[in-house]
Amino acid sequence: MKPLLLFTLIFLLSACTRPASGPVAATALDGPAAQASQAGQATPTMSSPAAASTATEATAGETAAAETPMVEAAVVEVAVIEIPLAGEAGKPEAELSGMAWYSDTLILLPQYPTRCGAGDGCLWGLAKADILAFLDGSRREPLQPFPIRLLAPGANKLKGFEGFEALAFAGEQVFVTIETKPGKMLGYLVSGSITPDGSQISLDTAHATAIEPQSGITNLSDEALLVAGRRVFTFYEANGARVNPKPVAHLFDLTLAAQGTVTFPALEYRLTDVTPPDERGSFWGINYFYPGDSQLAAPDPLARQYGIGESHARSPIVERLVEFHFTENGVELSAGAPLQLQLTDEARNWEAIARLDERGFLLATDKFPRTILGFAAYP
**CA–CA separation, 183 and 247 (whole Å):** 22
pLDDT bracket for residue 146 (50, 70, 90): very high
pLDDT in tens, 281-337: 999 999 999 999 999 999 999 999 999 999 999 999 999 999 999 999 899 999 999
Q: What is the pLDDT of residue 74?
A: 65
Give the CATH number of the domain where residue 232 resides. 2.115.10
pLDDT bracket for residue 54 (50, 70, 90): very low
State phi, psi for 257 to the nearest 5 degrees.
Answer: -70, 130
Query: Which pTM was predicted?
Result: 0.84
Q: How many beta carbons lie within 10 A of that of residue 114, not counting itself?
A: 15
Using alpha carbons, list the distances in angstroms from residue 316 to 56, 171, 261, 305, 369. Answer: 9, 40, 33, 18, 16
Q: Are 150 and 129 in contact (CB under 8 A)?
A: no
Q: What three-state secondary structure class fits 63? A: helix
Q: What DSSP element (H or E) covers 286?
A: strand 282-289
369 cis-preceded (ω within 30 degrees of 0)? yes
Q: Give the 3-state secondary structure of 294-343.
A: HHHCCCCHHHHHHCCCHHHHCCCCEEEEEEEEEECCEEEECCCCCEEECC
| Residue range 346-351: mean pLDDT, rounded | 97
**From 116-120, 197-201, 273-277, 373-377, the region with the lowest mean pLDDT:** 116-120
**Boundaries of domain holding 270:** 5-377
Q: Which amino acid appears at position 367 of this protein?
A: K
Complete DSSP assignment for 239-259: E-TTT-SS-EEEEEETT--EE
Domain count, the chain: 1
Q: What is the pLDDT of residue 91?
A: 93
pLDDT in tens, 217-244: 999 999 999 999 999 999 999 999 999 9
pLDDT in tens, 168-200: 999 999 999 999 999 999 999 999 999 999 999
